[in-house]
Amino acid sequence: MADGKLDGLFVMGQNPAVGASNGRLERKALARLKWLVARDMVETETASFWYASPEVERGELSPESLATEVFLFPAAGTAEKSGTFTNTQRLLQHREKALDPPGDARSETWFVFHLGRRLKARVNHDESPRNKGLRALTWDYATEGPLAEPRSEDVLREINGWSLPDYKQLSHIKDLKNDGPTACGAWIYCGVFPEENRNRANERNPKDLLGHGWGFSWPNDCRIIYNRASARPDGKPWSERKKLVWWDEAKLEWTGLDNPDYEKKTPPDKPANIHKGRGTEALGGARPFTLHPDGVGSCSPPVPMPRSRKMNVEVQSLVAEKSWSDNAAR
């Protein structure tokens, strides 16, 4: 944007003019846009940068000569829209709308849905290659109420994902395929809508101290992420009092108080094969950090970072293995 390679920008739920480490660069970059759309409940510094920024006060920017056309759209507040929300616990919860938004204020769902419909209508008869994706867009959610609000649960069903061509809801991220038979809006939320009329984000019946039965925590309703780390490398809990998951020798699978955030059938003694293996199965049985390429975690790099990424993974893995074996010996 600062290099003038971007014509327009939609800003929704953010305030980059003052919300970044280099606000001056952000504001001067906004001045290079042809158009800017800001959606918020109040006028933000991003929406007003063209006439009320420090750069305008210092004479670095002039409202009269600025080429950026700014559009400010009023947004609905939290209590004025239904849908799901999340938090740093990764917990998705559904909320109902308490009242309609005032005046022309609308939800993000309404705005993006109707904008998509209008853009699609404009290019339906335009055969240029750049519009091929937009013409193929499926944007047919049902609407309800006087504001023609899209049904948030219909959107969540699609985010959850389904099989093709029968459109059957998926229940677990392991159901996702990369060769065409499934479609999913966000893999981490796969399982939040496992059946046609079951919205797990709207469940309100907690069954245990971890809260299973209340909302949905990604991935796969694991309440404690990387919970494999609550067990020793051999699969036994570090602490009986604080145990979460452990290896069941009788069933030959991971089990416990939480849904295991691990390959359920991978035994603790399975060796890792991080360079030739595929997916989380390559991590073996004793590397809990499943979203890390090497399956291990650290507060800071234990050694200077080598230039080779492959070498870096090998070094971190060796350090992690030594740390785990030292802890087990203690």
Percentage of residues of the chain with pLDDT beyond 70: 91
Q: What per-residue confidence (pLDDT) applies to 281?
A: 82
Residue 200, classed as helix, strand or coil, is helix
Q: What per-residue confidence (pLDDT) applies to 208?
A: 95
Instruction: Give tens-digit pLDDT for 59-69.
Output: 999 999 999 99
Instruction: Give tens-digit pLDDT for 130-146.
Output: 999 999 988 889 999 99
Which residue in the block uniquely carries the two structure tokens 């080779």? 308
127: exposed, middle or buried (Cβ count in 10 Å: 0-12, 13-18, 19+): exposed
Q: What per-residue confidence (pLDDT) applies to 306?
A: 54
Q: What per-residue confidence (pLDDT) applies to 273?
A: 86
Q: What per-residue confidence (pLDDT) applies to 212?
A: 97
Residue 69, classed as helix, strand or coil, is strand
Residue 19, classed as helix, strand or coil, is helix
Give the max Cα distance, the chain: 76
Whole-number Å distance between alpha carbons of 239 and 226: 16
Instruction: Give tens-digit pLDDT for 232-251.
Output: 999 999 999 999 999 999 99
> 25: how many CB neighbours lie within 10 A of its CB?
13
| Angstrom distances, CA of residue 237 to CA of 182, 242, 248, 328 | 37, 8, 11, 11
Q: What angle do CA 163, 186, 152 make, to 5 degrees?
A: 85
Which pLDDT band, with edges at 50, 70 and 90, does 329 fall under? very low
Q: Closest by alpha carbon to 84, among 201, 185, 197?
A: 201
Q: What per-residue confidence (pLDDT) applies to 274?
A: 76
Q: What per-residue confidence (pLDDT) applies to 227?
A: 96
Domain ranges of the chain: 8-75, 83-189, 227-329
142: exposed, middle or buried (Cβ count in 10 Å: 0-12, 13-18, 19+): exposed
Whole-number Å distance between alpha carbons of 15 and 45: 7
**What average pLDDT is seen over the chain?**
90
Q: How would you classify the pairing of strands 35-40 and 8-12? A: parallel
Q: Closest by alpha carbon to 137, among 158, 153, 154, 116?
A: 116
Both tokens of 328, joined, read 């087990």
Q: Closest by alpha carbon to 264, among 212, 303, 227?
A: 227
**Cα distance from N-terminal residue to C-terminal residue, the chain:** 54
30: exposed, middle or buried (Cβ count in 10 Å: 0-12, 13-18, 19+): buried
**Least confidently predicted of 68-72, 221-225, 325-329:** 325-329
